[in-house]
């Protein structure tokens, strides 16, 4: 058996920090107790540091009561150390523990609220682990876990403590349904008009409309757009009028950088939803100028944000709108995905998305004039992260 060597943690701020010499197992325990270390390792799952405390609190609570959740955390922790910080090798990723957690999820039959809460954490954790490693079944895992907690969702959605583990998986499922014509497992129910989320940001009030758009897309996929024309126009007007809102008290607990990121993200998501409606109404090859205009608007919002924040800035959790935009315009920087993530390693998930984009443009060049849904569903499997 290979001896585990101490880890050189280049992401730690102080070269003299004792944390730099900790083995993986000990560092995992440190992140459970240290909010700062937790954020440095898990920042890809948050718009910014404003969301770290609440997310850290609920994850600690769940990992202390569920062995399966703790196994899932240990697995994704090793994947993050590799993909986020390059402070470990591929062989350090705990695939076996991830497989064990997946098996427990597969056999889960929750009978209590507490068990449902554990599954609400475990499912997205395993799905994210898959995205970072193999990208072979993330959506199946995600949707299975959401279906398991569905009987408890009404009750869970009333508990603010659970927001950090409930909202982002629902958004993740929803954005994938927007590009495939499927129906999300859960419809997000918001309690608070001003609620902001670690991944969805200010889009929480947009999410119910995105769900309605998924329902319409599913109906159109199995019928014709003419049958639902009026419903599309009504939803289009609602989306056009929608704008992100922030409670006056919120700036005290949110950093200025996080607020700026959320505003840009929300506007990009609004444009993306309008682009979905456009392509539900118009097959590829028709009204392409309007599609490109909406896509250019999305990329313009991203570029404006990056210009304001500086050359090393990133804007996470806008993969969905950027992906849609790249299906409509080729005038996008080649390295666009690099500014959408803090990962140091190019993920298989990203490579698959690039392959899908290339295939769509290949078919468009050949004169494809069908529905975008049909083209996306006929190719290889892929997953869009929010």
Q: Give residue-wise pLDDT tens across range 321-350.
A: 999 999 999 999 878 888 998 887 778 899
Mean pLDDT score, 175-193: 94
Mean pLDDT of 300-316: 93
Rg (CA), the chain: 21
CB 216 within 8 A of CB 204: no
Q: Is residue 64 pLDDT above 50, yes or no?
A: yes
Model pLDDT for residues 220-230, shown as the tens digit of each residue: 988 887 888 99
CA distance 94 to 27: 14
Q: Where are the alpha helices (DSSP H) in the chain?
A: 24-33, 35-42, 52-65, 67-83, 95-106, 113-132, 138-149, 153-156, 163-180, 207-221, 229-241, 256-281, 288-309, 319-326, 348-365, 372-377
Contacts of 366 (CB under 8 A, 6+ apart): none
pLDDT at 27: 85
Is residue 165 over pLDDT 70?
yes
pLDDT band at 248 (very low <50, low <70, confident <90, very high): low
Residue 86 burial by Cβ neighbours in a 10 Å radius (0-12, 13-18, 19+): middle
pLDDT bin (cut points 50, 70, 90) of residue 21 is low
Residue 163 clears pLDDT 80, i.e. is over it: yes
The pLDDT assigned to 5 comes to 41
Instruction: Give the domain ranges of the chain.
Output: 18-377
Structure confidence at residue 368 (pLDDT): 95
> Length of the chain, please?
386
pLDDT of residue 14: 38
Asked whether 295 and 328 are in contact (CB, 8 A), the reply is: yes
Average pLDDT, the chain: 90
């Amino acid at each position: 058996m290979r001896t585990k060597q101490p880890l050189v943690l280049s992401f730690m701020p102080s070269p003299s920090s004792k944390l730099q010499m900790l083995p993986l197992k000990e560092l995992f325990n440190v992140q459970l107790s240290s909010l700062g270390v937790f954020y440095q390792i898990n920042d890809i799952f948050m718009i910014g540091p404003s969301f770290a405390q609440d997310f850290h609190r609920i994850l600690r609570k769940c990992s202390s009561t569920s062995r399966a959740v703790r196994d899932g955390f240990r697995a994704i922790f090793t994947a993050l150390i590799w993909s986020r910080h390059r402070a470990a090798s591929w062989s350090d990723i705990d695939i076996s523990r991830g497989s064990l957690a997946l098996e427990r999820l597969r056999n889960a039959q929750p009978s209590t609220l507490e068990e449902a809460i554990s599954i609400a954490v475990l499912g997205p954790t395993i799905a994210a682990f898959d995205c970072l490693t193999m990208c072979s079944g993330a959506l199946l895992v995600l949707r299975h876990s959401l279906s398991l907690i569905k009987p408890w969702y009404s009750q869970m959605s009333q508990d603010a403590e659970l927001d950090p583990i409930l909202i982002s998986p629902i958004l993740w499922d929803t954005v994938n349904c927007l590009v495939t014509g499927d129906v999300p497992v859960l419809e997000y129910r918001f309690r608070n008009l001003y609620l902001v989320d670690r991944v969805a940001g200010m889009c929480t009030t947009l999410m119910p409309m995105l769900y309605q758009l998924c329902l319409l897309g599913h109906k159109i996929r199995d019928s014709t757009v003419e049958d639902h024309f009026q419903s599309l126009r009504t939803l289009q007007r609602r989306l056009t009028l929608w704008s992100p809102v922030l409670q006056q008290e919120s700036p005290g607990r949110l950093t200025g950088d996080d607020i700026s990121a959320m505003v840009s993200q929300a506007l990009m998501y609004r444009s993306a939803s309008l682009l979905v409606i456009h392509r539900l109404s118009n097959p590829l090859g028709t009204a392409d100028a309007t599609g490109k205009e909406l896509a250019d608007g999305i990329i313009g919002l991203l570029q404006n944000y990056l210009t304001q924040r500086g050359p090393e800035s990133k804007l996470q959790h806008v993969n969905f709108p950027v992906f849609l935009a790249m299906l409509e315009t080729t005038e996008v920087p080649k390295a666009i995905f690099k500014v959408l993530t803090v990962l140091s390693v190019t993920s298989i998930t990203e490579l698959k998305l690039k392959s899908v984009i290339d295939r769509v443009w290949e078919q468009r060049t050949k004169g494809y004039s069908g529905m975008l849904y049909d083209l996306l569903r006929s190719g290889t499997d892929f997953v869009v992260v929010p």
